[in-house]
Amino acid sequence: MIYKILRSDEWAKLQADGETAGAPIDIEDGFVHFSTSEQVRDTATRHFAGAEGLMLLAYDEAAMAGDLRWEPSRGGALFPHLYGPLRLADVVWAKPLPMAGNGHLFPDDLA
C-alpha cells in the first residue's frame, strides 16, 4: 500500500469529480506525491503540521504499475510518484487523519 494525504477541499474535489491532478504541489511538480507506510508520518509532519480536516487515502501500488515510478526524494529515499490522475476508483480506503496533541493520529492498520 501507498498513501496520499489530502486536505478536505482536495478530498471533496476528488469525490465530486472522480479524479484529480492532485494537490497544488502535485500539479506544480507534474506528478502525484505518495508515501509508503514508513514515510507517511514524516510527510504529515513536514507538509501538514497542525493541519485539521485531513484525509489519509490508501492505494494499492500494483493497480497503478504503469503510471507509478519510484524516484529519489528526501534524503535519497525512493518515493512513489504517480504520473497520471489520482482516481477515486483506485482508493482502497480513506480515513480521517485527526490531530492528536502535537501530531496526527494515524490508523493502526497502515501496512
Residue 108 lies in a domain: no
pLDDT in tens, 2-57: 999 999 999 999 999 999 999 999 999 999 999 999 999 999 999 999 999 999 99
Q: Per the domain annotation, does 105 fall within a domain?
A: no
Q: pTM for the whole thing?
A: 0.93
Query: Is 42 a member of any domain?
Result: yes
72 inside domain: yes
Q: Is residue 109 part of a domain?
A: no
Tens of pLDDT, residue by residue over 73-86, are: 878 889 999 999 99
Instruction: Write the burial class of residue 44 (CB in 10 Å: 0-12 exposed, 13-18 middle, 19+ buried).
Output: buried
Q: What is the pLDDT of residue 76?
A: 85
**Cell numbers that stand for 87 in this block:** 482516481
Q: Is there a domain that residue 70 lies in? A: yes
The pLDDT of residue 73 is: 85
Q: How many domains does the chain have?
A: 1
Q: CA-to-CA distance for 57 and 66, rounded, in angstroms?
A: 20
CATH number of the domain to which 52 belongs: 3.20.170.20
| Residue 110 located in a structural domain | no
Q: Which residue range forms the structural domain that includes residue 34? A: 2-99
Give the confidence band of 111 by pLDDT, cuts at 50, 70, 90: low
